[in-house]
Structures are given as structure tokens and as C-alpha cells.
A and B are shown apart, each in its own frame.
Chain A
Amino acid sequence: MNNAHIDVRTVLFWGISAVILLILPQLFPLGYLVNAMITTVVWIIFALAFDLSAGHVGAVSLGHAVFFGVGAYVAAIAAPQLGLGYFGSMGLSAVTMGILALIAGIAFFRIAEVSFAIGTLGALIIAQQIANNAYDLTNGPMCIQSVPNPTIHLPGNAISVTQPVEYYYALLPLLLLTLIVYRLLTTQRIGRAFASVREDEVRASAMGVHPLRYKLLAFSVGGALIGALGSFQAQYITVVCPSELAIDYTLTMLIIVFVGGAGRMRGVVIGAILFNTLPRILENIGGGTIPPAYQQVIYGLILLGVVLYMPDGIDGLITRLTGGRKSKRQVVTDA
């Protein structure tokens, strides 16, 4: 990384975030708080992996939950039979989902962007229907119950993960990996290639950037990360249902990514945190001024409003208010 671009504020931001992430469960060892933090981290990883293809190469797939759900099923069905531990199971889901994403990408990237979105949605519905009907494999709507609690094999001893706090710390390495991979892929040469593919594929290929290759890279890396996340989810909840393949995940992901700011790491992270904390805070402080039942209506309206009036999301707003760097989109169109 180019040293000239690392300024003190960025280092402070990430440093403080890391400290908070590590210390918070120790300061407040409350079950529900830790569970809420796990959910938030899951969504951060999910949204970042989704943003790799949606925000950076401009391929919005409405079927990303396939990697999550099928990854969870792989962890619930195959991993115990192979006797894999926590990280082994994650690795297996990541590899299989990476390959699935690669194959799906080769097939689906032949179609134009908007049809791509709906084609992947079709694939998601197909996956859910199969999970619902393949009783022998997935137990159908009765779900796969009692996925074994994971064990982490360290040189010397094996730790069994059972408490929420333990799950939380077991999830952090995946978060770190996701952040590093995201950073590596979206800066430097690859990141610029991604941006060029997103803005104009014809021009990108004229510049010697093969659009399909970069799209496949973003799509399969994102798929692999989400697969690993699905494996975590299966071992954390210990139940895997066809509802893991629901369209709801897609909608939540769209809201997080577009409200936070598509194609911006900070924005996506902020979006995921807000999405998971704001409703709880509103419920407690507002004293029920907004009935929780109307939350979904409000989510829909927020998504609508943000796209119409705040196309760069919250991160774009922050950048504008602090007078920071120009938005990435602008840099590319200016160039």
C-alpha cells in the first residue's frame, strides 16, 4: 500500500474500532448484547462480500443468499461427516461456494446487468424450492436440527465453542479476513480495474481489462466469503432451514449496501451497524412511537429515498460534510 495515503485519522478510526470490537464483550458480558454483536458482524461480512460484486463491478445479484444458505447446508451435512472442525468447515463451505460462484458467474455474466439481477433471483428461488423438497438431504421444512457445536483444533488441544462470547471471538478472524480481502481487491490495480468495468465495460476492455475475469473474481471471492459465513451461521444457530435461502437476506443486503454507500468499505460497515442497532434503539427510546410492525415499510421507504436523494449513501454524506476526498464515482468519470 502506498504510504503517502495512510493518514493518522484512518489509522485511529480502524484502531479504535478494533479495540472496541475486542473489548466490548468483556466490558458488558450480557448474552443479548453479544448475540447482537455477532449478528452485526455477520451482516458486516455479508454486506462487504455482496458489495464486492454489487458496488465494485456493478453486478447486483439478488441471489447472494444462495451462497449463504448452501454454505450453511454444506456445513451441516458434509462437514460433520468429514469430521471437520470449525475452521475446516468454514474452509469447505468457502471453497465449494467459491467454485459454485465461479460456475454461476460464467453462466450468468453472459446476460445484461438488469436481467442478471432477476436471473440470480430465479436461481435463489430454485435453490429454496429444492431445499424445501429434497427431504432425504435437507429434511425439508423441518430443518436440519442439532448441527454439532464446533471445535477449534489448536496445536496441542481442541476447544469446544459453546458460549456466545466464544462464538464472537471465533467469528472475528473471518471479519479480519474479509476486511483485508476487500481492501486488497478494491484498491491498487485490481480496484481500478473493477471501477473501470463498473463504469463502462466496452472502454474497460479497450484498455486491456477483461471485464468477465474481474467480474468473476469479485463474484467468486464474495461467494466464498459468504459461504464461510453460512458455515459459521450453521454452527452458531445449530439449525439450518430452507429459510436461510430467503429473499429477505437479499433485501436487507441491498438496504445496508445502498444506504451505507455502495462501493465504500466504511459506508457498508456503517450501514450494517446502523441497520442492526438503530431499530433496537428506536424501540427503546421512542417508547413505541413507531410500531415495530411498520419497520419493514420504513425500510422500503428508506431504500427508495436514499437511492433517489442520496445516491452515495451515508458515506457520501459524511465525505461531503467533512469535505474529504472526492467520491470514487466522480474520480472515475472525471478521468
Chain B
Amino acid sequence: MQETTDSGPSGSKSRPKRALSFLRVQNAYAFIGLVLIVIFAWVFFVIEIEPQFYLQEGERARYAWDTFISQFIIGLAQGSIYALIALGYTLVYGILFMINFAHGEVFMAGAYIGFFAINAAEQSGFLESQTALAILLTMGVAVMGSVIVAILLERIAYRPLRGAPRLVPLITAIGASITLQQLFLRLFGSSPRTYPRISLFVGQGMWGCEPVDGTTVCEGIDLISKSYDVLIFNQEVRIRPFFFVILFVSLLLMSALWFFIQRTKTGKAMRAVAEDKDTASLMGINVDRTIVITFMLGAALAGAGAVLFALYNRQVTPFMGFIPGIKAFTAAVLGGIGNVPGAMFGGLFLGVAESVFPSALGLPNQLKDVVAFGLLIVFMIFRPTGIFGEVLSEKKA
């Protein structure tokens, strides 16, 4: 399983010298520190120093600290959704060494099924009366939907091909991915479904006080839909509290996953199967069952992420899973695919990078996909092990 045979001139290990070898910092934290220093230096340059050369009297700089801070927070929220999806890629890769290309469609399926749940809740008035509970239920339904899709995928498209050359499951995954996309397109139409606009007020009487008709009314903070002006580092920034909800829920789910993998018996079985399938099976571990559970875990996180994503973006289409899916894969590669904390970190890093970089570099915002996939290619070529250093190559077969 873990044999490290050198793989000819095109392999990545046997090549003694590579270009840009300084990028191959062995210590992950040194690498992260280096990257952060470079980014902050660049942002500082763009905000504080560069405007002095072109700015006329009374003109506003094209980029300022408040933009940076709000983009950073949006990036964290977006990134935590990438991280949730990326964990699905990384878990499956860690065990089967295959890339579940249809994982983006699992995410999409979760968002759709969640839509029907939340729509039913809205029709019946349940969403109005018990908002928090309705959202939780929606998340539960979406998770169930994603899990069912993932189980079917594993059974139909991947299990018969275990042991086949590694490109073959990729092709079936692409086939499954088109099938799911088009099936949802035909079943539910090409016009996007829209999640209802939800308000969930918390902290009545403590925050969010507004003067209404001379008296002060404290209706609380709307956690989901509204944006508020907040002072952060002396900068007035307009943010949605929902960004922090996304970050918090994602971190909660990720730590639950971490606990599951590290502390439960099933988690131990998963680690054993990842290490060596045959030996694990000799030790009495049901390998098939463990693999299914891995797919289910990844799908559950994707389903929860899908509801968060849909509550934030509100629009759900059959093609919504494709780009986030590949971006989450990028996140998994950045962190080192097969590495669970790596996927979490990679997701947050990618989210912040694609949110902050385009405007910091003075590019149009539409080019954020270019930033994300540029990072993917640069990392694949120059640091295929990712930041945390799991080997992404043919070494494990």
C-alpha cells in the first residue's frame, strides 16, 4: 500500500533538482508564515504606499482597509464551505486514492433536496414560527439526500471498479456527474430555485437597538439575511452576521469529524483501511462498510455545506455544484489531498485568496476563478504534496 517505489524520470521523487526548489519548504508552518507575510506586505503596499503615487486630492483609493477586511470575512465564509466540500474529496482520496469527481453533484443534490424541505416549511408556516428548528430540519433533510446520492454513486459507479486502473473510475465519475446534473435539470427545470428570505433574530434586548418613533426598540440581530455596519480595527465594515454563522457551523462540523475519526471505533477502522485495506480486512474490519461510511461522512458534510451555501446565495441550479466542486478539490490539493486538517486549512486559504487577490492585484472581480485554478495548477506543479505534505501521486496504488 504505502510502498514508495521510484517511478522513472517523470515521477516527482526521483528527480533530484526541480525548478523553484525554494518553494518546497519542508516545514508547513514556515510555508504558511511565508505566504501570509508576502500577502500582508502586498496588501499593505497596495493600500498604504501605492495610492500616494497616483491619488489626486480628495480622491478615494481604489482599495482600502475596509474593503480588505470585508473581503477577508466573506472569503472566510466562502472558504469554510469549500472546506466542508473538500473534506469529502480528501476522505475518499485518503481511503481509495481516487478522486470522486461527482462530489460537486452530491453537494448540488443536497442543496436541491434542502430546497424542497425549506419550501415545504415555508408553505406550512413552520418556517415562520420555528425558524431555527426549520433550518436545522432542512439541513438534516439535505444531509440525508446527499448521503443517499453518495451511497448510490459508490455502489453503482465506483465499487465495481475497485482495483481497475486509476483513470477508469475518473471516467465513470464524469459520467455520473453529467447524469446527475442533467437528471436534476430535467426533473426540476433549468430556472433556478430560490430559497426563501429568512430572518432569524437573536439577542433581543441586548443588541441591534434602533430608535423607532422616539423609543428604542431592540429586536435583536438578524443572523441570516441582514447586513450591519460594524467597526473592526477602526474601520467601518458592512458585514452579514451569517458569515460568522457559516464559519462557526463549519468549524463545529469539522471538529465533529475530527473527533469521529480520532476517537470512535469506526474512525479507527477508517484509518486502518486507509493504511492498508488487506491487512485491515484480516483484522476483521469490514472494508466495504468502512468505505461506504467514508462516502457518507463526506456527503453529509457536503449536504450541510450546501444548505449554508444556499442560505447565503439563495439560488439553486443543477450546475451549481460544478465550480464549487472543483474549487473544493483545489482546496484539498492546497492542503495536501488525503489530509483532513489540510483540507480544512486549504478551504479557508482558497476562500480568502480568491476573495482578496483579484482586487488587491487590481484585476476585475470576475477573475477570481482564474486565481483559484491558477493556485491549483501552481500547487500541482511545484508543491504536489500541498501545504501539509501528503503525497499526491502514483506512489500509493
| Residue ranges of A at the interface with B (Cβ–Cβ < 8 Å) | 58, 60, 62, 107-115, 117-119, 121-123, 125-126, 129-130, 132-133, 201-202, 204-206, 210-212, 215, 247, 251, 254, 258, 293-294, 296-297, 299-304, 307-308, 311
Contacts and interface: CB of A to CB of B under 8 A. Distances in A.
Contacts of A299: 178
Closest 9 CB pairs of A and B: A300-B179, A303-B175, A300-B178, A122-B373, A304-B175, A205-B8, A296-B182, A297-B182, A112-B393
29 contacts: A60-B167, A60-B170, A107-B377, A107-B381, A108-B380, A108-B381, A111-B384, A111-B393, A113-B167, A114-B166, A117-B167, A118-B101, A122-B377, A125-B326, A129-B366, A133-B364, A133-B366, A201-B8, A202-B7, A254-B174, A296-B178, A297-B183, A300-B176, A300-B177, A300-B181, A302-B175, A304-B172, A308-B157, A311-B168
A243 B105 CA distance: 22
Contacts of B170: 60, 114, 117
A247 B369 CA distance: 15
Contact of A126 (B8, B166, B364, B370): B370
Given A118-B329, A300-B180, 5 more contacts: A58-B167, A129-B367, A206-B8, A211-B9, A308-B160
Nearest to B184: A297
Given A212-B9, A297-B183, A115 B392 contact: yes
B300 interface: no
Interface size class of B (residues with CB under 8 A): 35 or more
Contacts of B99: 114-115, 118
Interface in B198-228: none
Contacts of A109: 10
B78 interface: no
Given A129-B366, A133-B367, A293-B186, A210 B9 contact: yes
Interface string B355-396: 000000000101101100110110011001000000011100
A52 to B, nearest CB: 16
Interface of B: 5-12, 98-99, 101, 156-157, 160-161, 166-168, 170-172, 174-183, 185-186, 322-323, 326, 329-330, 333, 364, 366-367, 369-370, 373-374, 376-377, 380-381, 384, 392-394
B369 A125 contact: yes
